[in-house]
Amino acid sequence: APGAPAVVGDTPTHCPYCALQCGMTVGGAPVRVTPREDVPANRGGLCQKGWTAAELLTVPDRLTTPLMRAHLDAPLEPCTWDEALDRIAAEIARLQERHGRDAIGVFGGGGLTNEKAYQLGKFARIALRTSQIDYNGRFCMSSAAAALNRAFGLDRGLPVPITDLARADAIMVAGGNVAETMPPFMRHLTEMRERGGALIVIDPRRTATARQADLHLQPTPGTDLALANGMLHLAIQEGLIDEEYIDARTGGFEQVRLSVNAYWPDRVERITGVPVPQMREAVRLLARGRRSLILTARGAEQHARGTDTVTAFINLALALGLPGREGSGYGCLTGQGNGQGGREHGQKADQLPGYRKIDDPAARAHVAAVWGVDPGIIPGPGRSAYELLDALGTDDGPKALLLFGSNPVVSAPRSNRIEDRLNALDFLAVSDFVLSETALRADVVLPTTQWAEESGTMTNLEGRVLRRRRAVDPPAGVRSDLEILAGLAERLDAPGTWSTDPAEVFDELRAASAGGLADYSGITYERIEREGGVFWPCPSEDHPGTPRPFLDRFATPDGRARFTPVEHGGAAERTDRDYPIHLTTGRVLAQYQSGAQTRRVAPLVEAAPEPFVELHPDLAERHGVAEGAMVRVTSRRGTVAVRARLVDTIRHDTVFIPFHWAGEGRANLLTNPALDPLSRMPEFKVCAVRIEPIEQN
């Protein structure tokens, strides 16, 4: 254990966890966090994860020295930084010489700062010259990103500052449980309700968020698209659509009008299980004022038809005339801490910094000039996250993987298969601050700095770029990812410059993003300090930033938003006699993502110690399952053993397991990696399972 960290002073910064990026001050002895009042996202509030964030800095199993395995069956042993970096560089050289540049894969994370995400993308493209890079954000909100690009020409999560929410007439949250995932967000929704606005929630479970809603629609998992199309059908039928807006600001509506003709209310009720009066009520609430928002989260997005599902909600928002108006529109509730920024700066398989397409010659020329290289050396697009992991160790897949800020052994779908692929690699290097379940399998582990020990920027769910500030000194022996990448670049004789100073890297990122869709060129550390954050796009230092994109025009070539007709197809895997129950996965308040951080924080472990399966008492009775009994849940891909929690808040045909745990209760052993054709998002949110009680001796 590193012991108590040396405190730099009382330092304002942001939470290590989710995309709300609540403001907090870190200081004191022992180190503690206090919420900041000056940050609009949380205004003095924090959730249990945020309140206990200081404990991450003193976790007993913190890594403070690199670890290396001499050979496949040898244990991980401490080594020096030179030994660790020399070994990685040697393995890269050996494998690339034998198998070509793409023999090395890189896997990043949506929690990395903008600077680290940028540098990682650059490292892959010009130090390794591999096309094989993607990141765990692909599992998070890539379907929303693809749908946003298709409709508006720009992928920005929320189209308004968070402070606009309280003044909305209605907000519909599809597949999001913000009361548990980001509780301070609820204050904005509560304030809206106190002012007379209506909250509508779409979720197969009556979650903590749904319990506070004015209207809760509880569809069968995998039927959100039909529900959204049905609501649009009703909006047309009831004369609630905004024809003037549709004419002036959109294109393609007539095809959508025709396609939703087939979604007559009774049919949609049969598909979704949502009663027609509830659908009608939801549409009326959304249409009654001029300021309404439709927000989607993972529940609507993590599907093999996630992009089309989000598109269906965007179609509804457009028909009601919401996007591009002050305080209203469609938005995505980003999940990971830098889920927004993490996807803008080149970690994605098909993108260069500034949301530039990697196969666009002008984009390649611009970025190559910033990097000081010939555009010809930048590789083309690579595999998406699941496809990359699934190809590891295969004949034409990467033979080595460098992994930063991610734990796919727990968080990837069909994760036993991913474990096998990781085991098939010639070489795995992981940068992390603890031995996560993935790091445990590595040949080299690099101990890295974590949130309050490092500087940089994060872009929150509003698109507001924020400063992460170093509040404590990191323990002796750890290095930042920027230092790790610089050390490797030097050993690989990489072209370009490899600063270890986040401020310098941010300046380079600004230049690389200039002129792109996610233009950060007008954002400086000083401006962020002065203004409490700056919204991108921000193309010059005298530009005010863009809290509300699309007010004048959408980012499409003709400035109009695009309707796209989309058809219900249902879940990729249907229930049947052998697997008669829907499984949906998700999150609980006291844990975060793969749990690599939160499963090490004592109060969070006490609050949420183990995985469980939530099921309706009627379903439990049919299967002879008692409250608290151990249950075997089996899908076509694996089996887990979890404790039963009987609740009447879930549908009779559906069970729910949170995915934060490893071991016997690892929910992602069950999930289906069927991929969305556009976003390559796996279908985490629905698969078919059976349940059986486990006999206790």
Using CB under 6 A as the binding rule, the residues of this chain from 165 to 224 that contact ligand SF4 are: 182-184
Counting contacts by CB under 6 A, is residue 672 touching ligand SF4? no
Query: Residue 527: how many CB atoms within 10 A of its CB?
Result: 16
**Interface region with ligand SF4, contact rule CB under 6 A, candidates 14-22, 278-286, 533-541, 598-606:** 14-22
Q: Which x/- pattern over 228-247 shows residues binding ligand SF4 (rule: CB under 6 A)?
A: --------------------
Distance CA 309, CA 304 (A): 9
Distance CA 23, CA 528 (A): 13
Using CB under 6 A as the binding rule, the residues of this chain from 423 to 482 that contact ligand SF4 are: none
Tell me how far, at minimum, the Cβ of 368 lies from ligand SF4, in Å.
Answer: 36
Counting contacts by CB under 6 A, is residue 12 touching ligand SF4? no
Residue from the set 7, 12, 22, 186 that interacts with ligand SF4 by CB under 6 A: 22
- Omega before 30 cis (within 30°)? yes
Buried-exposed string 196-210: b where 16+ CB fall within 10 A, e elsewhere: ebbbbbbbbbbbbbb
Counting contacts by CB under 6 A, is residue 107 touching ligand SF4? no
Tell me how far, at minimum, the Cβ of 535 lies from ligand SF4, in Å.
Answer: 18
φ/ψ of residue 51, rounded to 5:
-60, -35
Distance CA 483, CA 470 (A): 15
Counting contacts by CB under 6 A, is residue 588 touching ligand SF4? no
DSSP calls for 262-276: T--HHHHHHHH---H
Counting contacts by CB under 6 A, is residue 47 touching ligand SF4? yes
Counting contacts by CB under 6 A, is residue 49 touching ligand SF4? yes
Nearer residue to ligand SF4 within complex by CB, 46 or 217: 46
Tell me how far, at minimum, the Cβ of 159 lies from ligand SF4, in Å.
Answer: 20
- Omega before 66 cis (within 30°)? no
Counting contacts by CB under 6 A, is residue 518 touching ligand SF4? no
Nearer residue to ligand SF4 within complex by CB, 16 or 353: 16
Distance CA 244, CA 231 (A): 20
Tell me how far, at minimum, the Cβ of 20 lies from ligand SF4, in Å.
Answer: 4
Counting contacts by CB under 6 A, is residue 26 touching ligand SF4? no
Residue from the set 7, 12, 13, 21 that interacts with ligand SF4 by CB under 6 A: 21
Residue from the set 2, 5, 13, 20 that interacts with ligand SF4 by CB under 6 A: 20
Tell me how far, at minimum, the Cβ of 588 lies from ligand SF4, in Å.
Answer: 12
Query: Which residue has the CB atom at the shortest distance from ligand SF4?
Result: 50
Helix (H) or strand (E) holding 144: helix 142-152
Helix (H/G/I), strand (E/B), else coil: 484: helix
Counting contacts by CB under 6 A, is residue 57 touching ligand SF4? no
Tell me how far, at minimum, the Cβ of 384 lies from ligand SF4, in Å.
Answer: 27
Distance CA 393, CA 407 (A): 18
Nearer residue to ligand SF4 within complex by CB, 42 or 309: 42
Where are the alpha helices (H) located in 74-141, listed in sequence order?
81-99, 114-122
Tell me how far, at minimum, the Cβ of 464 lies from ligand SF4, in Å.
Answer: 13
Residues near ligand SF4 (CB under 6 A), total? 14
Question: Would you state the structure tokens that stand for residue 207, as one six-digit string?
Answer: 């979650």
- Beta strands (DSSP E) in 327-460 are 329-332, 351-352, 356-357, 400-404, 427-432, 444-447, 456-459
C-alpha dist (Å) from residue 176 to 173, 301, 485 = 6, 10, 36
Helix (H) or strand (E) holding 228: helix 224-237
Residues that bind ligand SF4 in the complex, under the rule CB under 6 A: 15, 17-18, 20-22, 42, 46-47, 49-50, 182-184
